[in-house]
Amino acid sequence: MDGSDLTPGAVLALTGYGLAGLVGTVVAAVVVLFALQPAQPVVYDALYRRLGPWTATSAATVVQFGAAGALAVSIPALAAEHLDGGRTESVAAVLAAGTLALVAALVVGVAFGAPALLATAAADVLFVVAAFLALGRVGASRAGRVAFVGGAPALALLLVLLAVGLGWGGGYDVVAEPAPDGTEATADFADAPDLRDDLFGPGACEGGACRLSLRQYENEAAAGRFLDDNGVRCPLVNAPGDRDWGGSFVATHAGDRYRVTCEAYGD
In degrees and rounded to multiples of 5, residue 17 shows phi and psi of: -65, -40
Separation CA 246–CA 94 (nearest Å): 42
Nearest C-alpha neighbor of 176 from the set 85, 260, 234: 260
Position 5 scores a pLDDT of 58
* 19 pLDDT higher than 70: yes
> pLDDT band at residue 11, thresholds of 50, 70 and 90?
low
Half-sphere exposure of 56 (CA within 13 A, CB side): 27
Separation CA 59–CA 200 (nearest Å): 29
Query: What does the longest C-alpha to C-alpha distance in the chain come to?
Result: 86
pLDDT digits (tens, 9 = 90+) for 206-238: 988 999 999 989 999 999 999 999 999 998 887
Position 9 scores a pLDDT of 65
**Residue 93 CB: number of other CB atoms within 10 A?**
13
> pLDDT band at residue 140, thresholds of 50, 70 and 90?
very high
pLDDT digits (tens, 9 = 90+) for 254-264: 999 999 999 98
Secondary-structure breakdown of the chain: helix, strand, coil percentages, each rounded to the nearest 5: 60, 10, 25
Q: What's the whole-model pTM score?
A: 0.87
